[in-house]
Structures are given as C-alpha cells and as structure tokens.
Amino acid sequence: MLNMRPKVTVYITCHNYARFVKDAVESIKAQLLDDWELLIIDDGSQDNSREVIEELANLLGERVKTFFNESPQGLPFCANLAIDEAKGEYLIRLDADDYLDEAALLTMAAYLDKHQDIALVFPNYVYVDEDGTYLGVEQRKRIGEEAKVLDLPAHGACTMVRKRVLKAVGGYSREYNAQDGHEIWLNICNRYRVGNITTPLFFYRQHGASLTQNQQRVLSARQNIKRGAAKKFEGEVSVRVVGVIPAKNTYKDMPNVCLEPIAGKPLIDYTIEEALSSGSLDHVFVTSDDSKVIEHCQKNYPEVLTNLRSLELSHRYTKHIEVMNDAIEHLEAEMEIYPDIITVLNVHTPLRFANDIDEAVDTLLLYNVDSITSVYEDYDLHFLHGENGLEPLNRGALNQLRLEREALYVDNGAIKALWRDVLSGPNLFGQKFGHIVMPQERSILYSDSFTKRIIESCLSDMNAGV
C-alpha cells in the first residue's frame, strides 16, 4: 500500500521543456529511496509539455499528481503550490531541464534524518550541456569548515528542505521574478542551521535558455530580495548610515578631476546625486582637499555635509583608512553625528547607482561580516605560469563554466560599507568581509580620456534605454 505520508515530495516545474522533462521524471523513478511522491507543475507551456507530462504521469500512476497553469505564473507561485500540496516530510524542487543522480533522495533525506537541527541540505552537482554531455563538477565549499560567511546561497533547485521550515518562513514571495533560492536562503539562514553534502547528486543542464545567463535580471532580483529581507529587521531603533565621498582633487596627472565634465555634468555630481537618492543613507558627507570642490557642493547641494581636509592627507602614500578616520572624527567632533555604518563612495565610479548603495548596506546588515565591498565577477580565462608553461587559474572556464571554487571577483572600488568600529583596525575591511556584485559594464573607473569616452558612451546608452 502506498505510504500516505511519503518521506520526500519532489516537485518538477516545467515551462516549454517538453524535450527535457522525461529525463527529469525518469530520474525520480530511478531513485534508490522509494518513499517519494511527485508533483509536476506545468507553468503555461506553449510547446507539447502537457502531452508529455500526462503520458509520463499515466505510466507512474498514483504517485504522481499534475498541475497545469493556463498561463505562466512564475517559480514562486509553483513553489507555494507544491508546499501546499506536498504530503512529504521533506521537499525538493527539480527543474524540468535537470535530473537527479539515483542516490540523491536517499542521501539528502538520510542527512536530514541524522541532523535534526539542520533545516535544509544541498549537494554538489555536475554540469552537462544540452545533450547531457559532461562539462564539469561544482564542488561547493563545506559550510562551517570552508565557508563561514553564508553569502553564497544554495542552488534554488535540488535543495532538500524540511516542509515545516518552508511553512514557518511563509513560503516564497511572489514579488521577485528570479533568484527564488536566494530569497528562501536568507529567510531560513536567519532562523535555522543549514548544511551541504560534498557528493554530486544532480545534473545541471547548461543551455541558452538558462535563467542564470541573464545577469542583469539576476542581480536586480538579488537587490530586491535583500531589501525585503533587511526590512524584516527594521524596528523602533535603526542604524545611522553616513555616505562618505572622499573627493581628492589634487592629482598631478588628473587636475580638477572631481569637477571634470562627464556628459555635461561634473564627475562628482554622479556620486552625490545617487547618494542623495539612496534610501539607506541618513547623511551624505563630502571630504575634499580642494576648496573648489567644497564650494561646488555647498552651492549645488546644500543638504550635503562638507569638510575641507588637510593637504597632508593627499600624499600618494596616504592610506584610505587615514582619510576615513579624519572624516569620521570631523563628523563626530564637529557635527555631533555618530554613524553606525559608513559607506565609502568613490568619485571615480559614476555608473554606481543608488540601489547599489542600498544593497551594500542591506548585505552588511544581513550577514555577520565587518564590511562589504563591491565587485564584478570576472568570467575570463586566467593563467599562472607553471612548470609546463601557462596553467589555467580557473580551469572551469575552459568549458565556459563558472565554478564556485574558481570564481574570480574584482574590487571595482565603487562602494565599501563597513561598521564604524572597523575604523579602529588596519584597513577598511576588518576580519570578515562580504560582497555585492555589480555588472562589469558599470564598474568602469574614470582615470583618463579613454575611460571617459567609455563612461560617456555607457551613460548615453542608459539614457536611451539600451
């Protein structure tokens, strides 16, 4: 007799994946753990997915339940439907274009059975191409051993979660159109322990329609998810955040750089205006070594706090932390403004937006780190010189794979967010620092006429909606 409460509920979400969904379903049928039920949710497919799904469901009988949305409702809707319908103790999503190793359910369910304090568990996985050909293995860092800052979420699919936990955190929000795994990760990590398994247990198909290929959509969704998560912690007492703009204007090779016209507007104005538009900053403070910059700010932005600092802090070997300590000492001693969080905003990165600033503050609040730095992800293939000539630093890039252990991040200098007490240390990072990812095309640092032309071209494209 079929168990009325199976150990695991698997749900497959499908949108126009008729050519792949059979592999996904057959991988469930082949599981070594036989105590499962399967929900298949077709999300408004326009190909022959429904026909394929119905045929597969007939073959598997009463262990399968199907749902067909007349029009696409999105992953959060489908996930919440699965949570409501699931009978299993544990829940796991399988995307229709991926498939499981035969030991996947057995291994992850046994892990949760053994570790009653763990809310979710996720495995390593194998990358395959559209035809199922092996590309490489993703070996995630071991939580608690290799990864103590949990700012790299589990994959949204093929993560097994206790159903009671999903219900306790309210399921998935329909506000977000991507990165549903990121949202549930933040909601769970702030209340429960999480774990992972080093064995590769599912096959993640890489093809042109993969959501992860759309970087801008992904990054925008992450910002919105973090904003929503951070709002849950807002209360009667809030942090005081000051945006500090260190505006050195006495470079010998870039005279008057802060007031240099970029697309018809002084360079510094781009940073000031985005800082003033940020919903996270209580004050914006410009510290400069040039009275012309101070006069410009006072005339055009009277709401901005200013300070003319000593030229001694403009020596080429002056450390950033020395400039910041001088700025904060002035704020606290002269203006009686005592920040909890400081964001450092670089004048030379005019393509940084207000929502990037907000994300940096949100990320600092959400993770147990001392500071946040803005980066862009470098997908290029890099080499070190070895015994046999050039050796790949990020070998996965040979197959166009971005592997977690090989991921390269470049500090774009646009934003640093840090707790006030970090300024008592040797640098602006502290002991543990997290990150936010900005697109590479908005990480351009103004340094000469060439980068000026690139920035002006980007601004022109943005204004034209390109």
Identify the pLDDT of residue 135: 92
**Residue 465 reports pLDDT greater than 80:** no
DSSP 340: S
Mean pLDDT, rounded, for 355-380: 95
* Model pLDDT for residues 313-340, shown as the tens digit of each residue: 988 888 999 999 999 999 999 999 999 9
Identify the pLDDT of residue 210: 55
Q: Is the separation of the CB atoms in 229 and 153 below 8 Å?
A: no
The label of the residue with tokens 């905003």 reads 345
H helices of 137-246, where?
163-168, 180-189, 215-231
* Model pLDDT for residues 282-298, shown as the tens digit of each residue: 999 999 999 999 999 99
Strand order in the sheet with 408-419: 305-308, 283-288, 241-247, 341-345, 408-419, 371-378, 433-437
Task: For the chain, give the longest Cα–Cα distance.
Answer: 84
Identify the pLDDT of residue 119: 97
Q: Pairing state of beta strands 118-128 and 193-205?
A: parallel
Q: Is the separation of the CB atoms in 340 and 420 below 8 Å?
A: yes
- Residue 46 and residue 16: Cα distance in Å, rounded? 6
**Residue 213 reports pLDDT greater than 60:** no
Identify the pLDDT of residue 209: 57
**Residue 66 reports pLDDT greater than 80:** yes
The label of the residue with tokens 């925008």 reads 220
Identify the pLDDT of residue 1: 43
* Model pLDDT for residues 339-363, shown as the tens digit of each residue: 999 999 999 999 999 999 999 999 9
Buried b (16+ CB within 10 A) or exposed e, 93-128: bbbbbbbbbebbbbbbbebbeeeeebbbbbbbbbbb
Q: Is the separation of the CB atoms in 316 and 335 below 8 Å?
A: no
pLDDT interval class at 211 (50, 70, 90): very low
* Model pLDDT for residues 87-129, shown as the tens digit of each residue: 999 999 999 999 999 999 999 999 999 999 999 999 999 999 9
CB-side exposure of 209: number of CA atoms within 13 Å? Answer: 12
pLDDT interval class at 54 (50, 70, 90): very high
Identify the pLDDT of residue 20: 97
H helices of 344-391, where?
354-366
Q: State the burial class of residue 228 (Cβ atoms within 10 Å of its Cβ: 0-12, 13-18, 19+).
A: middle
Q: Give CA separation, 428 vs 193, 321, 372, 421, 444, in Å.
A: 30, 6, 9, 10, 21
Segment among 28-32, 360-364, 400-404 with least mean pLDDT: 400-404
Tokens standing for residue 132:
């199922």
205: enclosing H helix or E strand: strand 193-205
pLDDT interval class at 268 (50, 70, 90): very high
Q: Pairing state of beta strands 193-205 and 36-43?
A: unpaired
Q: Give CA separation, 392 vs 387, 409, 447, in Å.
A: 12, 16, 30
Q: Is the separation of the CB atoms in 42 and 50 below 8 Å?
A: yes
- Residue 85 and residue 101: Cα distance in Å, rounded? 25
The label of the residue with tokens 């890039």 reads 397
Q: Is the separation of the CB atoms in 412 and 349 below 8 Å?
A: yes
- Residue 344 and residue 326: Cα distance in Å, rounded? 13
Q: Which superfamily does CATH assign the domain made up of 8-231 to?
A: Spore Coat Polysaccharide Biosynthesis Protein SpsA; Chain A (3.90.550.10)
DSSP of 246-307, one letter per residue? EE--B-SSSBTGGG-EETTEEHHHHHHHHHHH-SS-SEEEEEES-HHHHHHHHHH-TTSEEE
Would you call 89 helix, strand, or coil by DSSP?
Answer: coil
Domain with CATH 3.90.550.10 in the chain: 8-231, 241-463
- Residue 460 and residue 448: Cα distance in Å, rounded? 18
- Residue 323 and residue 303: Cα distance in Å, rounded? 22
Identify the pLDDT of residue 137: 94
- Residue 256 and residue 60: Cα distance in Å, rounded? 73
**Residue 170 reports pLDDT greater than 70:** yes
Neighbours of 253 (CB within 10 A): 7
Tokens standing for residue 210:
């993969």
Would you call 199 helix, strand, or coil by DSSP?
Answer: strand
308: enclosing H helix or E strand: strand 305-308
How would CATH label the architecture of 241-463?
Answer: Alpha-Beta Complex (3.90)
Instruction: Compare 210 and 147 and report the one with higher pLDDT.
Output: 147
